[in-house]
Amino acid sequence: MKHFLRMLIQVCLYFYCKFLWRCMKFVMRKLTGRCELQRICYSTKPGASRTMKIETSLRDSKSKLLQTSVSVHPDAIEKTIDDIMELKQINPDINPQLGISLQACLLQIVGYRNLIADVEKLRREPYDSDNPQHEEMLLKLWEFLKPNTPLESRISKQWCEIGFQGDDPKTDFRGMGLLGLYNLQYFAERDATVAQQVLSDSLHPKCSKFSKAEWEKKRMDKAIGYSFAIVGINITDLAYNLLVSGALKTHFYNIAPEAPTLSHFQQAFCYLMHEFHKFWIEEDPMDIMEFNRVREKFRKRIIKQLQNPNMALCPHFAASEGLINM
């Protein structure tokens, strides 16, 4: 009975707030002579703050046109903007900037939804050792990470040197499919120096770039390493969940002037990989069994950062070049 009453109260509060919100919108429209979309665009600076407010306004609107505008095809955005302007009785000649602002927001909103679909497609595609393209990507990963060490054979214990669990890496991609391989190769290729350094540190953590004084201060005399490739796949899972949950909207809406792409997602992965490596060293876990604890603590820190509407995960290394557009 108590559960039923609690649910009833929550439903009543929801509809009350919904009604109150619509009343406030009506009053503000009469007082300012502007609809909510206009008020947002004219009072909020470009970026995540504006785009997320526009997205909420469109999604919660009672108008079917506005509700569906967040999921239109990118080619239909321009016409959708014209339809919205007509519905809201806004003269585009008098308010030219509004159409431009709405278009930029819709490109980001629709682009984010499409990015989720693209990432999900890669995640669902399993690694196939009979697929020449998959095999080529895997072999290139080795070349980028170990440029001075030839791979003796496709099935080899050497794969453990870059952090795979056995002599055939294909079994390690099951959780994240091709997405894990795409991200690892992107990191290894686009920022080879940092990727190779992170790999080296993961194998020999006490030989990382921390100075002797820093090691003594942090008591890292028994620093524990980790499996580079396996952690990369795990961080891919973290990046994927941040994307699907909407947490990465803050980052993408702040750095991508239009639609965020797969390259933006992979650049975010590079940042997370790099930051997790530093976080792992700083945490100085007793053994690898503490991985889940460290990962969860790292996840909470990233989520807290992304709750700031002005936040952008801006890595300062080669993989980010040409992608940060503040």
- 84 vs 11 pLDDT, higher one: 84
- 216 vs 34 pLDDT, higher one: 34
User: How far is residue 103 from each of residues 55, 65, 69, 100, measured CA to CA in Å?
Assistant: 12, 15, 11, 5
C-alpha triplet 203, 207, 213: angle, nearest 5°: 145
Handedness of CA 265, 271, 274, 278 (dihedral sign): negative
Distance of alpha carbon 102 from alpha carbon 50, whole angstroms: 10
75 and 139 fall within a common domain: no
- What is the largest distance, in Å, between two alpha-carbon atoms of the chain? 75
Residue 16 has pLDDT above 80, yes or no: no
pLDDT tens column, 71-81: 999 999 999 99
Residue 241 has pLDDT above 50, yes or no: yes
Could you tell me the two tokens for 227? 């499996």
195 and 243 fall within a common domain: yes
Q: Is residue 21 part of a domain?
A: no
State residue 142's pLDDT score: 97
Residue in 148, 170, 149, 167 with CA at minimum distance from that of residue 159: 167
Q: Is residue 13 part of a domain?
A: no
26, with CB counted inside 10 A (0-12, 13-18, 19+), is exposed
- Out of 64, 91, 123, pick the residue that ends a domain: 123
Residue 207 has pLDDT above 50, yes or no: no
Distance of alpha carbon 89 from alpha carbon 83, whole angstroms: 10
Using 50, 70 and 90 to split pLDDT, how confident is the model at 94? confident
Distance of alpha carbon 44 from alpha carbon 36, whole angstroms: 12
Chain-centroid distance of CA 309 in Å reads 14
Terminal-to-terminal C-alpha distance of the chain: 53
Could you tell me the two tokens for 284? 């100085």
Distance of alpha carbon 79 from alpha carbon 63, whole angstroms: 16
- 307 vs 326 pLDDT, higher one: 307
Q: Report the predicted TM-score, pTM, of the whole model to 2 decimal places.
A: 0.83
Count of domains forming the chain: 2
Q: Is residue 20 part of a domain?
A: no
157 and 275 fall within a common domain: yes
Count Cα atoms within 13 angstroms, Cβ side, for 35.
Answer: 17
pLDDT tens column, 126-160: 999 999 999 999 999 999 999 999 999 999 999 99
Residue 325 has pLDDT above 70, yes or no: no
> b/e for 244-253, b at 16 or more Cβ within 10 A?
eeebbbbbbb
All residues at 6 or more sequence positions from 191 whose CB lies less than 8 Å from its CB, including other chains: 270, 317, 318, 319
211 and 119 fall within a common domain: no
Q: Whole domain around residue 296: which residue ranges?
A: 128-307
Q: Helix H segments across 130-261?
A: 132-145, 177-190, 192-203, 212-218, 228-245, 249-255
- Out of 70, 89, 123, pick the residue that ends a domain: 123
